[in-house]
Amino acid sequence: MGRAVSGRVVRVPSFAKINLGLEVLGTRQDGYHELRTIFQTIDLRDDVELRGGGRDITVVCGHPAVPDGPANLAARAAHELRRYAKRTDGVEIRITKRIPVAGGLGGGSSNAAAVLMGLDRMWRLGLGPAGLHPLARRIGADVPFFLVGGTALGLGRGDEVYPLHRQVRAHVVVADPGRPISTAAVFRRLDRSLTPRENSHTIFRFVSRDLEGEGPSFPILANDLETAALEEAPDLADQVRRIRGILVREGAVSASLSGSGSSFFGLFDGPQRARRACAALGAEGFSAFRGRTLSLDQYRGAWRQSLGHEGRGTR
């Protein structure tokens, strides 16, 4: 992206995530759900450009499904940080959208984290990820993860984030059925059949293998939201069955819905299998992305490249 900071212009990448596994343990007293999840950043990304000036906070995005008002998490992030820093600066937030909207890949939350990090740099606040974390938690449950990145354990609402020692390095294929699903609607449907539980150990077994120095055991992971998501959007069931079948046939070591859907991903241990899977999905009429997981170091490196240098960029 070149140099990211040019006076009143900051450009930052905004990466997607997948959930390698997700457990819903019950409903909390604050109305949210108690979760355990394994987050993973991937190199599918939006681009966010911040242009300082005036007093207003505005969002510009060419995607028709992206809101341009207070409902946009990127705008909320700018308002929250401006209020916290006791500033009156305005900013125009330009989002180039590539991450599917409402697809379970965290695009809105990632955009919000990018705005927090970018404005922290533009306004020279010096808060960094740790200082921004309390603000991120107020904006959305997934936003704190995007201040960290890589392979990480998420607890609580998903906003308590702990990087894993062994970072997953794999090729990834993401299929987008093009059918947005409301996260809130999926959780409401799940609540109708949810039995509170504290003894689900799948995620912790995965983490224990990491701590013991063993390789990742993807087959033990599952997404508790998948059944509810497909009940909420029954027209997706056949598409998901076909997508999963293609990914498994081509050798995916893991194939699952991401978050509350509707995006579906497969992990592969080599580029050739991922390439074949992506081609097979395209031949069946699905929109598919092929890329790589991003480790903690790679994610931090992308931030450093974007925010670590000052200079005359291109306006």
- For the chain, the DSSP string reads ----EETTEEEEEEEEEEEEEEEEEEE-TTSSEEEEEEEEEEEEEEEEEEEE-SS-EEEEES-TTS--STTSHHHHHHHHHHHHHT----EEEEEE--SPTTSSS-HHHHHHHHHHHHHHHHTT---HHHHHHHHHHHH-TTGGGGGT-SEEEEETTTTEEEE-SS----EEEEEE-S----HHHHHHHHHTT----S---HHHHHHHHHHTTPPP-GGG--BTTHHHHHHHSGGGHHHHHHHHHHHHHTT-SEEEE-TTSS-EEEEESSHHHHHHHHHHHHHTT-EEEEEEEE-HHHHHHHHHHHHS-B-----
> What tokens were used for 220?
């033990």
Q: What is the pLDDT of residue 24?
A: 92
Other CB atoms within a 10 A radius of the CB of residue 24 amount to 21
d(CA 301, CA 163): 15
Distance in angstroms (rounded) separating the CA atoms of residues 75 and 92: 9
pLDDT at 200: 65
Please give the distance of CA 30 from its chain centroid, rounded to a whole number: 23
φ/ψ of residue 14, rounded to 5: -135, 100
Pair type for strands 91-96 and 57-61: parallel
* Torsion sign over Cα 176, 178, 182, 188: negative
Point out the catalytic residue in the list 46, 120, 142, 176.
142
Q: Give the pLDDT score at 205.
A: 85
Question: How many C-beta atoms surround the C-beta of residue 63 within 10 A?
Answer: 15
Alpha carbon separation from 45 to 31, 90, 92, 119 (Å, rounded) = 31, 25, 19, 19
Active site residue 17: yes
Q: What per-residue confidence (pLDDT) applies to 197?
A: 60
Give the span between the Cα atoms of 78 and 72, in whole angstroms: 10
Kindly give, in sequence order, each residue whose CB lies less than 8 Å from that of residue 173, ignoring residues fewer than 6 positions away: 247, 252, 265, 266, 268, 274, 277, 278, 281, 288, 289, 290
Distances (CA, A) of 115 to 50, 102, 313: 8, 19, 18
Q: Is-catalytic flag, 30?
A: no
| Residue 6 pLDDT | 42
Q: How far is CA 160 from the centre of its chain?
A: 15
Q: Which residues of the chain have pLDDT under 50?
A: 1-7, 309-315
Note the pLDDT tens digit of each residue in 123-166: 999 999 999 999 999 999 999 999 999 999 999 999 999 999 99
Selection from 88, 143, 87, 137 nearest residue 115 by Cα: 143
Q: How far is CA 249 from CA 83, 177, 278, in A?
A: 51, 19, 12
Tell me the C-alpha distance between 271 and 281, whole Å.
Answer: 15
